[in-house]
């Protein structure tokens, strides 16, 4: 009987491997070849990693001109940025479709809100309307995106 050779699974051997080093939660290994654009992952897993890292930077880029989505220009600006993110493959198609759907819901309401605001300010008076808005919409705290770096 001959002894089985021991397999060395050190980091140097893994780094020399031509295969993707991604492992699932149940420790299964990806069988795809590493991609030239990434030192240790296949194209699929490298893209998923890049999208995850980009997600922290996307929020501020999608912000509207005024900081809120109250004008057609705000929605247009955000949709233009969304198109750029999708065209440069910095956001998934699913997420882009969700944002575009929300924008499609927001867009028709902008004019109605403006008309409603004008009518209410005329009926209540500008100061009373401003006070009612302040009660309904307290000042918002800036949204902090979660940091991946610890």
3-state DSSP call for residue 33?
A: strand
pTM: 0.51
Cα distances (Å, whole numbers) of residue 94 to 45, 46, 89, 101? 17, 18, 12, 11
- The answer on pLDDT for 97 being more than 90 is yes
In the prediction, which pLDDT does 144 show? 63
In the prediction, which pLDDT does 72 show? 82
Helices (H), 22-149: 43-62, 72-87, 93-124, 126-136
Report DSSP state, residue 38.
Answer: S
> Could you state, in order of their start, the residue ranges of all structural domains in the chain?
17-55, 63-138
| For residues 12-28, average pLDDT | 77
| Residues 53-86 pLDDT 10s | 877 788 777 777 777 777 888 888 888 999 998 9
């Amino acid at each position: 009987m001959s002894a089985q050779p021991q397999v060395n699974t050190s980091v140097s051997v893994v780094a020399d491997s031509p295969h993707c080093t991604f492992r699932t939660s149940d420790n299964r290994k990806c069988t795809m070849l590493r991609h030239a654009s990434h030192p240790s992952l296949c194209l699929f897993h490298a893209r998923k990693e890049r999208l995850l890292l980009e997600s922290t930077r996307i929020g501020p880029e999608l912000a509207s001109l005024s900081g809120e989505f109250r004008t057609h220009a705000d929605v247009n600006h955000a949709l233009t940025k969304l198109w750029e993110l999708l065209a440069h493959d910095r956001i998934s198609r699913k997420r882009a479709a969700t944002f575009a759907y929300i924008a499609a819901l927001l867009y028709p309401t902008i004019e109605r809100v403006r008309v409603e605001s004008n009518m209410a300010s005329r009926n209540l008076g500008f100061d009373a309307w401003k006070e009612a808005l302040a009660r309904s919409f307290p000042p918002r705290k800036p949204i902090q995106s979660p940091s991946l770096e610890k």
